[in-house]
Amino acid sequence: MKNEEFIEKQISLFKEKRKDYQAYAELIKEILSKLLKQKNLYGIVQARAKTVASFTEKIFRKGHLYANPIEDMTDLCGARIILDSMADVQKVCRVIEENFIISIEDSEDKLERLGVSEFGYLSNHYIISLKKDNPFLVGFKIPEHFYHFLIEIQVRTLLQHAWAQVQHDTIYKGDFTVPKDLERKSYRIAAVLEDTDHDFQELINEMINFQENYGAYLSKEQLDKELEKMTIVYQADPTNLSSVIRYANLLRYIEDWDTMIEILSKVVDQNSSIVFRELGLALCKKYEPESEEYQKGINYLKKAITIDPQDSDAYCILGGRWKDKDPEKALDYYRKAAEIDPSNPYAVTNYLVLEIKRQKSLSFVSLLYSTITKTLEKCQNQIHHKINLPWAFFDIGLLYLLMGENEKAYESYLNGIRYSSESWMVLTTLETLALLNDVQDALPDLSSIEDLLTIGVIYKFHHQESREDFLSSPSLSIEPPVVIIAGSTRSSTEKGITIFQEKIIEAFSNFNGTVVSGGTTDGVCGIVGELQEKYPKNLVTIGFVPEKLPDGAKIDTRYSKINKIKGSNFSPKQVIAYWKAILLNSIEPAKVHLIGYSGGNISGFEYRFALLLGAKVGLIEESGRMARKVLKNEDWNTSLMNGKKDSMLSQVVSLTNSEKEIKDFIEK
Per-residue pLDDT tens for 285-322? 999 999 999 999 999 999 999 988 889 999 999 999 99
Percent share of the chain, pLDDT over 70:
90
List pLDDT tens digits, range 215-253.
555 667 888 898 999 999 999 999 998 899 999 989 998
Cα dihedral 148, 150, 155, 158 sign: negative
Q: For position 120, what pLDDT does the model report?
A: 47
Judged on CB neighbours under 10 Å (0-12, 13-18, 19+), 298 is: middle
Q: What is the pLDDT of residue 650?
A: 64
Q: Which residue has the higher pLDDT, 39 or 157?
A: 157
Q: What is the DSSP string of 360-411?
A: T--TTGGGGHHHHHHHHHHHHHHHHTT-STTHHHHHHHHHHHHHT-HHHHHH
pLDDT for the residue 643: 44
- Using CB atoms within 10 A of its CB, is residue 396 exposed (0-12), middle (13-18) or buried (19+)? buried
Give the pLDDT mean for 65-70: 77
Under 8 Å between Cβ of 485 and 528: yes
State the average pLDDT over residues 48-66.
83
Q: 350 φ, ψ to 5°?
A: -70, -40
Q: Is the pLDDT of residue 524 over 90?
A: yes
Strand partners, 568: none
Cα gap 249→264, rounded to integer Å? 11
459-496 confidence digits (pLDDT tens): 998 888 888 887 777 778 999 999 999 999 876 556 67
Torsion of CA 458, 461, 462, 467, to 10 degrees: -20
Q: What is the mean pLDDT of residues 155-176?
A: 73
Please say if the pLDDT value at position 435 is more than 90. yes
Q: Which of 10-19, 102-111, 390-399 has the lowest mean pLDDT?
A: 102-111
Query: pLDDT confidence of 640, banded at 50, 70, 90?
Result: very low
Q: 393 and 410 in contact (C-beta within 8 Å)?
A: no
pLDDT of 600 above 90: yes
Helix (H, G, I), strand (E, B) or coil at 160: helix
Mean pLDDT of 148-169: 84
Mean pLDDT, residues 60-89 taken together: 84
Q: What percent of the chain has pLDDT over 90?
A: 59
- Identify which has the larger pLDDT, 61 or 95: 95
pTM: 0.78
pLDDT for 110 equals: 46
Weakest mean pLDDT among 138-142, 635-639, 643-647: 643-647
Q: CA 469 to CA 219: how far, in whole Å?
A: 34
The full set of domains in the chain, from first to last, is: 2-198 (3.30.460.10), 220-463 (1.25.40.10), 482-667 (3.40.50.450)
Can you give the pLDDT at residue 70? 81
- Mean pLDDT in residue range 452-461: 94
pLDDT by residue (tens digit) across 198-212?
Answer: 777 777 777 666 666
Amino acid at 615: A
Residue range 103-137, pLDDT digits in tens: 877 665 544 544 434 444 457 889 999 998 888 88
Q: How would DSSP label each residue in 447-479? A: HHHHHHHHHHHHHHH--HHHHHHHHTS------
